[in-house]
Amino acid sequence: MPFHEQYTPTIFNTMIILTILLYVLGGYLTLAVGYYSLFCWASLFFKIKPAANQKTNTLARIVLLIPAYKEDAVIESTVQNALQQDYDAHKYDVVVIADQLQPTTLTRLQQLPIQVIEVYFQKSTKAKALNFALDHLAENYDLAMVLDADNHLAPGVLQKINQAYQQGHLIIQAHRTAKNHENGMAQLDAISEELNNAIFRKGHRVLGLPAALIGSGMAMQHHLHKQMMATIDAIGGFDKELEMRILKNKDLPKPKVHYLANALVYDEKVSDAKVFRKQRTRWISSQVKYGFRGIKDMFPQLLFKQNIAYFNKVFQFWLPPRLLLLGALTFFGLIGAFIHWSLGLYFGSLLLFMIGSLVVALPARLRTYQTLLALSKLPLFFFSMIKALFYLRQGFKSFLPTPHQYSSKP
């Protein structure tokens, strides 16, 4: 029996509309799968250049900037870790930007060989804290490195950053990696972090594009950092606005943002569903905001200035987060199979290819039994992401910091 004779006219028309929508969505999702997969596979060819491990007799003067908003639980351990770096103590300073820390915490910090800058804002943001500190610091630094209040540096990080700087790199992103793996949620968040490194840093560098900034574990020539940050007052996602400005700057040496895969910065991963939702609300709201903000310059930068890097960055903002992409491919695969087996097969094939690409990009150390167990948390992750979409307005208007509790790397 012909397809149109199996259904009433109303159902038939509905099926036609659904089919058209699936084809449109299929094109969008295919584009997203192709983009992510391209950089996943490219990341396999990333190599650390031996020169990055060579020491130099010239030491840059570095300031470590650590904004700490109500981070009493972790800030002291972070400072102690920073003070233990195997770098000439006279060549680097640790600066804590204290925003609403407890008096007892401030007292203990002030007894350490660091600088504490207290800030008071009606509405706190990371950008405000950094700009205040940059305005009150001396100008005798070569590099400024931004850390989160929970970040711990592996031995040799400052040496490696200095080496990259001496080679001519003015903007350097270190390899941020998980500090904790205590439950399934933390393990999945750790996986997400490493996939970001593979796609947006390793894969991008292999294909000749700048690495993406994260917002912590990043170092920049001090005067350039101060200049670029001066007019940034983002509620969330200051690193995205900073990166867009960097990519527009035609005077910076390529690749503009260098990635140091062997300079490890340990970062606390989210282990609670509510905190995860709050964090992703901040991230997605920033992605949406800068996606709309950047689209007006997206094509002019590409067509008139051959600025592929800027075009690529804005294009990223218009792609769905990977977890939502996987969920959408699963959902539309089921819907497509109901309409016609070929649609179900198409979306199912996209899903399998996307999963395969992510698996090959995942570091071998995370392809473990613990990861398999953590996959049981994927539905919770997915629904937390869906829930985050309903809180985007909150992310546009309010600073949503991620609380931290693990003070040291296990």
Tell whether the model's pLDDT for residue 269 goes beyond 60. Answer: yes
Is the backbone of residue 73 left (phi > 0), alpha (psi -120 to 50) or beta?
A: alpha
For the chain, report the end-to-end CA distance as a whole number of angstroms.
Answer: 65
CB 40 within 8 Å of CB 204: no
**C-alpha dist (Å) from residue 387 to 237, 279, 281, 358:** 19, 12, 8, 24
User: Which of these, 294, 281, 276, 192, lies nearest to 240 by C-alpha position?
Assistant: 294
Number of CB atoms found within 10 A of residue 123's CB: 9
**Which tens digit of pLDDT belongs to each residue from 6-54?**
556 676 677 777 778 778 888 999 999 999 999 999 999 998 876 544 5
pLDDT mean across residues, the chain: 88
Tell whether the model's pLDDT for residue 363 goes beyond 80. Answer: yes
**Which tens digit of pLDDT belongs to each residue from 42-89?**
999 998 876 544 556 799 999 999 999 999 999 999 999 999 999 999
Quote the pLDDT of residue 3: 45
| Region 100-109 average pLDDT | 96
CB 312 within 8 Å of CB 207: no
Confidence class of residue 139 from pLDDT cuts 50, 70 and 90? confident
Residue with the larger pLDDT of the pair 273 and 114: 114
Quote the pLDDT of residue 410: 44
**Which tens digit of pLDDT belongs to each residue from 282-328?**
778 888 888 999 999 999 999 999 999 999 999 999 999 999 999 99
Taking the C-alpha atoms of residue 259 and residue 210, their distance in angstroms, rounded to an integer, is 8
Taking the C-alpha atoms of residue 291 and residue 296, their distance in angstroms, rounded to an integer, is 10
- What is the value of pTM for the model shown? 0.89
Taking the C-alpha atoms of residue 16 and residue 291, their distance in angstroms, rounded to an integer, is 31
Please report where in the chains the tokens 């179900």 appear, as a residue: 344
* Largest pairwise CA distance in the chain: 84
For residue 395, give every residue at least 6 positions away whose Cβ sits within 8 Å of its Cβ, in sequence order, or none: 235, 236, 281, 282, 284, 285, 286
Quote the pLDDT of residue 271: 75
Quote the pLDDT of residue 115: 96
Tell whether the model's pLDDT for residue 400 goes beyond 60. Answer: no
**Which tens digit of pLDDT belongs to each residue from 179-234?**
988 888 889 889 999 999 999 999 999 999 999 999 899 999 999 999 999 988 87
Is the backbone of residue 399 left (phi > 0), alpha (psi -120 to 50) or beta?
A: beta
For the packed helices 341-361 and 322-339, what is the interaxial angle rounded to 10 degrees?
A: 160
| Region 125-144 average pLDDT | 93
